[in-house]
Amino acid sequence: MNLRLFRSSVALPTVAVVLLAVLASCQKSSGSGQASGDACTDEFRAGQPTSSVSGTRLLCRDQYIALYDPARKVPLVVGEHLETSELGGSEGRTNNFAPDPELPQGERAELADYRNSGYDRGHMAPAADFHGGATEMSQSFYLSNMVPQNPELNRGLWAGLEGATRNCAKTVGGLYILTGPIFEGRERTIGPDRVAVPSSVYKIVVSGNAARAFLVPNRSVPKTSNFSRYETTVDEIQTASGLNFFPQGGVNTQQRGNFCAGSYGG
């Protein structure tokens, strides 16, 4: 902006207002693009999780946030603040899987990577959480919100865990949810872009200062409604993932929460 154009005709306070408006416009995230710093971190319970992995990107969506690893081409953690008001929408599931338009080729998974791979495109933030509008439903199908997931797990126990978490959110009036992959042992990949296959997947559910943390191997496991058999502590998942999920503190990471026993089976 050339301020000399304003000097003779605009008072200084007016110029200040214009500048502040321009800066605010530049700093505000679009909701579907990338963000940095504290932008769009309202989906996280206690600040943006930190990772031992370098080169990560923070992808800001309308109703979730992904801390994304362009080397593995999967998210390391996806955060949602799931409120009860978001669970009553009428937007239908689209199945419109797509590469993330905010990421360049070479840093993202493509549809061809999953084709004939033997793995599902496993949502981290599930589509069933996003019936509030077409944009948020569409964003849930970006491949940057996916990991290669065992089909029986994805369609069985994991789908049940997602449903139990929605029921829990209705019970307690809203939750913070963190979901992502764990990579242990020899790392496998799929497709021409070498999308990393996790050894297990986790889901951390936070109500107030308490957290329930579930860690499930990425393989076929018996379908059950007793999810407590896969329960662990947040600290154990932090150690396995190299992430600090709550850098601002205020969440008990050493003890298992006991809320929503009816949803999780214990």
Is 131 tagged catalytic?
no
Taking the C-alpha atoms of 86, 137, 35 and 111 in order, what is their torsion angle to the nearest 10 degrees? 150
Mention every residue, 6+ apart, whose C-beta is less than 8 A from residue 78.
Answer: 64, 65, 66, 67, 124, 125, 145, 178, 179, 180
Marked catalytic residue, from 81, 123, 203, 212? 123
What is the per-residue DSSP string for 202-260? EEEEEETTEEEEEEEESS-----S-GGGGEE-HHHHHHHHTEES-TT--S--SS-----
Rounded Cα–Cα distance for residues 218 and 201 (Å): 6
R_g of the chain computed on alpha carbons: 20
Q: Rounded CA gap, 44 and 217, in Å?
A: 25
Whether 218 has a binding-site annotation, put simply, is no
Three-state DSSP class for residue 169: helix
The secondary structure of residue 103, as a DSSP letter, is S
Listed residue (133, 137, 211, 146) closest to 181, CA to CA: 146
Structure token pair of residue 190: 């799929």
Residue 125 sits at φ, ψ, to 5 deg, of: -95, 110
Q: Could you give the residue numbers annotated as active site?
A: 123
As annotated, the binding site for Mg(2+) includes 154
